[in-house]
Amino acid sequence: MATSTDPAVLYPDIAAEGSLGAALQAAAAKVGLSVPFTVAESDPLRIAAVASTVPHRTPLAITAWAVERRWAVRGCESFQDLALVEGDSQDLAQVVQAAKAWHDGADLADIHRAAPFVHLTGRYEVPDHDPVRLTESEWQHLRTEAGEADWPEYHALIEAAYAEPALRGLYPFTSHWTLRFSTTTRRRLTVVPICLVAAHRESRYTVSAHYMGEVLVETTTAEEAVAAAVRNLPFGLGPVTSGAV
Protein backbone atom coordinates (compact mmCIF):
# COMPACT_ATOMS: atom_id res chain seq x y z
CA MET A 1 0.00 0.00 0.00
CA ALA A 2 1.49 3.33 -1.05
CA THR A 3 1.92 5.90 1.66
CA SER A 4 3.21 9.44 1.25
CA THR A 5 2.33 12.97 2.18
CA ASP A 6 3.07 14.20 -1.37
CA PRO A 7 -0.16 14.12 -3.38
CA ALA A 8 1.78 13.85 -6.64
CA VAL A 9 3.34 10.60 -5.38
CA LEU A 10 0.10 9.08 -4.10
CA TYR A 11 -1.98 10.37 -7.00
CA PRO A 12 0.24 10.62 -10.11
CA ASP A 13 -2.79 10.11 -12.37
CA ILE A 14 -4.56 13.02 -10.65
CA ALA A 15 -1.46 15.18 -10.98
CA ALA A 16 -1.30 14.34 -14.68
CA GLU A 17 -4.85 15.65 -15.10
CA GLY A 18 -3.97 18.82 -13.18
CA SER A 19 -6.61 18.53 -10.43
CA LEU A 20 -8.92 16.08 -8.69
CA GLY A 21 -11.89 17.78 -10.34
CA ALA A 22 -10.42 17.27 -13.81
CA ALA A 23 -9.59 13.64 -13.03
CA LEU A 24 -13.16 13.03 -11.84
CA GLN A 25 -14.57 14.61 -14.98
CA ALA A 26 -12.32 12.38 -17.09
CA ALA A 27 -13.42 9.31 -15.14
CA ALA A 28 -17.05 10.31 -15.62
CA ALA A 29 -16.59 10.83 -19.35
CA LYS A 30 -15.20 7.29 -19.69
CA VAL A 31 -18.57 5.87 -18.60
CA GLY A 32 -20.64 8.39 -20.51
CA LEU A 33 -21.52 10.66 -17.58
CA SER A 34 -21.39 14.42 -17.32
CA VAL A 35 -20.88 15.76 -13.80
CA PRO A 36 -19.94 19.41 -13.05
CA PHE A 37 -17.06 18.96 -10.63
CA THR A 38 -15.38 22.03 -9.18
CA VAL A 39 -11.79 22.38 -8.02
CA ALA A 40 -10.47 23.78 -4.76
CA GLU A 41 -7.78 26.27 -5.72
CA SER A 42 -6.15 25.87 -2.29
CA ASP A 43 -5.49 22.13 -2.83
CA PRO A 44 -6.46 21.10 -6.35
CA LEU A 45 -5.00 17.58 -6.22
CA ARG A 46 -6.87 16.64 -3.06
CA ILE A 47 -10.16 18.53 -2.94
CA ALA A 48 -13.11 18.74 -5.31
CA ALA A 49 -16.88 19.15 -5.01
CA VAL A 50 -20.08 18.75 -6.96
CA ALA A 51 -23.21 20.82 -6.40
CA SER A 52 -26.66 19.28 -6.21
CA THR A 53 -29.64 20.26 -8.31
CA VAL A 54 -31.80 20.25 -5.17
CA PRO A 55 -31.45 23.40 -3.04
CA HIS A 56 -31.54 21.74 0.39
CA ARG A 57 -28.24 19.91 -0.19
CA THR A 58 -24.75 21.36 0.13
CA PRO A 59 -22.15 20.47 -2.52
CA LEU A 60 -20.80 16.94 -2.09
CA ALA A 61 -17.25 17.33 -0.74
CA ILE A 62 -14.66 14.94 -2.19
CA THR A 63 -11.33 14.81 -0.38
CA ALA A 64 -8.26 12.69 -1.03
CA TRP A 65 -6.60 11.12 1.98
CA ALA A 66 -3.17 12.49 2.81
CA VAL A 67 -1.20 9.28 3.55
CA GLU A 68 -3.13 6.58 1.69
CA ARG A 69 -4.65 6.49 -1.77
CA ARG A 70 -8.34 6.84 -0.98
CA TRP A 71 -11.11 9.39 -1.43
CA ALA A 72 -13.71 10.44 1.14
CA VAL A 73 -17.11 11.93 0.33
CA ARG A 74 -19.46 13.88 2.55
CA GLY A 75 -22.83 15.34 1.63
CA CYS A 76 -24.87 17.50 4.01
CA GLU A 77 -28.27 19.12 4.24
CA SER A 78 -27.96 22.86 3.89
CA PHE A 79 -29.93 24.13 6.91
CA GLN A 80 -27.90 22.55 9.73
CA ASP A 81 -24.88 21.44 7.66
CA LEU A 82 -25.15 17.91 9.04
CA ALA A 83 -24.09 14.85 7.05
CA LEU A 84 -26.70 12.85 5.19
CA VAL A 85 -24.15 10.62 3.42
CA GLU A 86 -20.47 9.92 3.91
CA GLY A 87 -17.96 7.24 3.07
CA ASP A 88 -14.59 6.50 1.51
CA SER A 89 -13.38 4.44 -1.43
CA GLN A 90 -10.23 3.55 -3.34
CA ASP A 91 -12.25 3.38 -6.55
CA LEU A 92 -12.52 6.73 -8.34
CA ALA A 93 -15.25 5.33 -10.60
CA GLN A 94 -17.39 4.63 -7.53
CA VAL A 95 -16.81 8.20 -6.34
CA VAL A 96 -18.06 9.41 -9.71
CA GLN A 97 -21.24 7.32 -9.34
CA ALA A 98 -21.89 8.80 -5.89
CA ALA A 99 -21.26 12.32 -7.17
CA LYS A 100 -23.60 11.86 -10.14
CA ALA A 101 -26.42 10.58 -7.93
CA TRP A 102 -25.93 13.41 -5.42
CA HIS A 103 -25.86 16.03 -8.17
CA ASP A 104 -29.02 14.66 -9.81
CA GLY A 105 -30.98 14.75 -6.53
CA ALA A 106 -31.37 10.98 -6.21
CA ASP A 107 -32.96 9.65 -3.03
CA LEU A 108 -30.44 8.87 -0.31
CA ALA A 109 -31.09 5.13 -0.56
CA ASP A 110 -30.58 5.32 -4.33
CA ILE A 111 -27.22 7.03 -3.82
CA HIS A 112 -26.16 4.09 -1.67
CA ARG A 113 -27.38 1.65 -4.33
CA ALA A 114 -25.45 3.53 -7.04
CA ALA A 115 -22.28 3.62 -4.92
CA PRO A 116 -22.41 1.01 -2.12
CA PHE A 117 -19.44 2.52 -0.26
CA VAL A 118 -21.67 5.48 0.63
CA HIS A 119 -22.91 5.24 4.20
CA LEU A 120 -26.30 6.66 5.16
CA THR A 121 -26.10 8.50 8.48
CA GLY A 122 -29.76 7.89 9.35
CA ARG A 123 -30.73 11.52 8.90
CA TYR A 124 -33.36 12.27 6.30
CA GLU A 125 -34.02 15.39 4.32
CA VAL A 126 -36.38 18.06 5.67
CA PRO A 127 -36.60 20.68 2.92
CA ASP A 128 -39.06 22.89 4.85
CA HIS A 129 -36.88 22.83 8.02
CA ASP A 130 -39.81 21.74 10.17
CA PRO A 131 -38.35 21.50 13.72
CA VAL A 132 -40.37 18.42 14.69
CA ARG A 133 -39.16 16.48 11.66
CA LEU A 134 -35.59 17.74 12.11
CA THR A 135 -35.76 16.43 15.67
CA GLU A 136 -36.94 13.02 14.50
CA SER A 137 -34.25 12.98 11.82
CA GLU A 138 -31.58 13.62 14.43
CA TRP A 139 -32.94 10.84 16.63
CA GLN A 140 -32.75 8.48 13.67
CA HIS A 141 -29.14 9.49 13.13
CA LEU A 142 -28.26 8.81 16.77
CA ARG A 143 -30.04 5.46 16.68
CA THR A 144 -28.18 4.51 13.49
CA GLU A 145 -24.85 5.61 14.94
CA ALA A 146 -25.45 3.79 18.23
CA GLY A 147 -26.52 0.62 16.46
CA GLU A 148 -23.24 0.58 14.54
CA ALA A 149 -21.03 1.41 17.53
CA ASP A 150 -19.18 -1.32 19.40
CA TRP A 151 -20.72 -0.15 22.67
CA PRO A 152 -23.93 -1.99 23.61
CA GLU A 153 -24.50 0.16 26.71
CA TYR A 154 -24.51 3.29 24.56
CA HIS A 155 -26.94 1.68 22.14
CA ALA A 156 -29.19 0.77 25.07
CA LEU A 157 -29.08 4.35 26.36
CA ILE A 158 -30.05 5.89 23.01
CA GLU A 159 -32.92 3.42 22.57
CA ALA A 160 -34.18 3.94 26.13
CA ALA A 161 -34.09 7.72 25.71
CA TYR A 162 -35.90 7.50 22.38
CA ALA A 163 -38.59 5.32 23.95
CA GLU A 164 -39.33 8.01 26.55
CA PRO A 165 -41.76 10.64 25.11
CA ALA A 166 -40.46 13.45 27.34
CA LEU A 167 -36.98 13.03 25.84
CA ARG A 168 -37.99 11.99 22.34
CA GLY A 169 -39.75 15.34 21.98
CA LEU A 170 -36.47 17.20 22.58
CA TYR A 171 -33.78 17.76 19.96
CA PRO A 172 -30.92 15.35 20.76
CA PHE A 173 -27.22 15.90 20.23
CA THR A 174 -23.99 14.49 21.62
CA SER A 175 -20.73 15.88 22.97
CA HIS A 176 -18.02 13.21 23.23
CA TRP A 177 -20.71 10.49 23.40
CA THR A 178 -22.62 12.35 26.11
CA LEU A 179 -26.32 12.49 25.23
CA ARG A 180 -27.71 15.99 25.54
CA PHE A 181 -30.92 17.80 24.60
CA SER A 182 -32.13 21.14 23.27
CA THR A 183 -35.48 22.88 22.90
CA THR A 184 -34.36 24.30 19.55
CA THR A 185 -32.79 22.72 16.49
CA ARG A 186 -29.43 23.70 15.15
CA ARG A 187 -28.18 26.19 14.06
CA ARG A 188 -28.54 27.71 17.54
CA LEU A 189 -29.20 25.18 20.29
CA THR A 190 -31.04 26.02 23.52
CA VAL A 191 -29.50 23.44 25.79
CA VAL A 192 -31.49 21.61 28.47
CA PRO A 193 -29.34 21.14 31.61
CA ILE A 194 -29.51 17.33 31.69
CA CYS A 195 -26.79 15.01 30.37
CA LEU A 196 -26.68 11.22 30.09
CA VAL A 197 -23.57 9.07 29.82
CA ALA A 198 -23.66 5.33 29.09
CA ALA A 199 -22.00 2.74 31.28
CA HIS A 200 -18.53 1.78 30.09
CA ARG A 201 -16.07 -0.72 31.55
CA GLU A 202 -16.12 -0.10 35.30
CA SER A 203 -18.38 2.96 35.20
CA ARG A 204 -22.18 3.04 35.50
CA TYR A 205 -24.80 5.06 33.68
CA THR A 206 -24.71 8.62 34.94
CA VAL A 207 -27.08 11.58 34.85
CA SER A 208 -25.59 15.02 35.42
CA ALA A 209 -27.07 18.50 35.63
CA HIS A 210 -24.60 20.00 33.16
CA TYR A 211 -22.01 18.79 30.69
CA MET A 212 -19.07 17.47 32.74
CA GLY A 213 -20.87 18.83 35.81
CA GLU A 214 -22.16 17.42 39.07
CA VAL A 215 -23.42 13.84 38.84
CA LEU A 216 -27.02 13.65 40.01
CA VAL A 217 -27.57 9.90 39.73
CA GLU A 218 -25.64 6.74 38.89
CA THR A 219 -27.61 3.70 37.76
CA THR A 220 -27.02 0.17 36.53
CA THR A 221 -29.47 0.26 33.60
CA ALA A 222 -30.24 2.62 30.77
CA GLU A 223 -33.93 2.68 31.69
CA GLU A 224 -33.13 3.81 35.24
CA ALA A 225 -30.88 6.55 33.91
CA VAL A 226 -33.58 7.78 31.54
CA ALA A 227 -36.20 7.78 34.30
CA ALA A 228 -33.87 9.82 36.51
CA ALA A 229 -33.23 12.27 33.66
CA VAL A 230 -36.97 12.78 33.18
CA ARG A 231 -37.45 13.43 36.91
CA ASN A 232 -34.81 16.16 36.72
CA LEU A 233 -36.03 17.90 33.58
CA PRO A 234 -36.97 21.57 34.05
CA PHE A 235 -40.68 22.30 34.09
CA GLY A 236 -42.46 23.89 31.16
CA LEU A 237 -40.39 22.61 28.26
CA GLY A 238 -42.41 23.34 25.15
CA PRO A 239 -42.26 21.76 21.72
CA VAL A 240 -38.98 22.05 19.83
CA THR A 241 -38.72 25.24 17.78
CA SER A 242 -36.37 26.31 15.01
CA GLY A 243 -32.84 27.30 15.91
CA ALA A 244 -32.40 29.36 12.77
CA VAL A 245 -30.16 32.37 13.39
The percentage of the chain sitting over the pLDDT mark of 90, rounded to a whole number, equals 92
The per-residue pLDDT for 95 is 98
The per-residue pLDDT for 213 is 86
Q: Crossing angle for the helix pair 222-231 and 152-163, nearest 10 degrees?
A: 40
Average pLDDT, the chain: 95
What is the value of pTM for the model shown? 0.93
Q: Domain ranges for the chain, please list them.
A: 7-120, 131-243
The per-residue pLDDT for 3 is 53
Residues 30-41 have a mean pLDDT of: 94
Q: Is the pLDDT of residue 238 over 90?
A: no
Q: Is the pLDDT of residue 44 over 60?
A: yes
Q: Crossing angle for the helix pair 92-103 and 20-30, nearest 10 degrees?
A: 90
Residues whose CB falls within 8 Å of the CB of residue 188, separated by 6 or more in sequence, listed in order: 243, 244, 245
**Number of neighbours of residue 66 by Cβ within 10 angstroms:** 13
Q: Which residues of 113-135 are buried (b: 16+ CB within 10 A; e: fewer)?
A: ebbebbebbbbbbbeebebeebb
Residues whose CB falls within 8 Å of the CB of residue 163, separated by 6 or more in sequence, listed in order: 226
Residues 88-109 have a mean pLDDT of: 98
**Number of neighbours of residue 45 by Cβ within 10 angstroms:** 22
The torsion region of residue 133 among left (phi > 0), alpha (psi -120 to 50) and beta comes to: alpha
pLDDT per residue as tens digits for the range 158-217: 999 999 999 999 999 999 999 999 999 999 999 999 999 999 988 999 999 988 888 999
Eight-state DSSP code of residue 83: E
Eight-state DSSP code of residue 92: H
Angle at the Cα of 47 (from 22 to 15), degrees rounded to 5? 50
